Amino acid sequence: MVLRMAGIQCEIREVVLKDKPQAMLDISPKGTVPVLQLPDGRIIDESFEIMCWALAVNDPEQCLCPENGSPVEMLALIRLNDSEFKFHLDRYKYPQRFGKSVDAGHHFSRACEFLAILDSRLNQTSFLFGAGASLADVALFPFVRQFASVDPETFGQLSCSHVQYWLGYWLGNMHFLHVMKKFPQWHVGDNSTFLLP
């Protein structure tokens, strides 16, 4: 999505996780998506690093320069998401994967504490760090989307109306809608599919 926001043309090779292509494992043995291969052969295989790389190339919406707060504060919020919120989200979403003692309700409540932090920021401005979208907004909304989709009715009843509105904005964002289209699984020798139309 951020590659598209940055206007960077990119060949898409859609991976089915149960059937990872050898060409992907050869350049990134850890076997997670996304993986970006640059024309000079460099590999970036962490989504956050791909976002930072793309915005360093071109940042038309000024996502790296938040209007309120500093890039350091933005990174701190992203780190809190990737550690605390993701930890509780996973245990709320798939308690059975973490053993019998895991209480999904407890992790739901802890995840809601993070949503309250977001809600208080979004009570002040339309986006997390001001009137325009920032790297933090784009990095965080997919996790909030996952949280909401576990039980949309419960999410809709939470008292975090600013987060609910903000998520609605992102779900209708044209870059998001474009990248969420179903792409066919890539096989060696296929014609190229490009990100930008």
Ligand X SMILES: N[C@@H](CCC(=O)N[C@@H](CS)C(=O)NCC(=O)O)C(=O)O
Site residues, ligand X (CB under 6 A): 17, 31-33, 46-47
Q: How far is the CB of 68 from ligand X (least distance, A)?
A: 26
Q: How far is the CB of 52 from ligand X (least distance, A)?
A: 12
Of residues 17 and 131, the one with the C-beta less far from ligand X: 17
Phi, psi of 130 (to 5 degrees): 135, -165
Q: How far is the CB of 80 from ligand X (least distance, A)?
A: 15
Give alpha helix (H) positions in the chain: 2-5, 22-27, 47-57, 71-80, 86-93, 104-124, 135-150, 152-157, 161-171, 174-179
Q: How far is the CB of 118 from ligand X (least distance, A)?
A: 19
Of residues 17 and 188, the one with the C-beta less far from ligand X: 17
Of residues 47 and 62, the one with the C-beta less far from ligand X: 47
Q: Taking the CB of residue 34, how many other CB atoms lie within 10 A of it?
A: 15
Q: How many CA atoms, within 13 angstroms, populate the side-chain half-sphere of residue 62?
A: 10
Of residues 96 and 157, the one with the C-beta less far from ligand X: 96
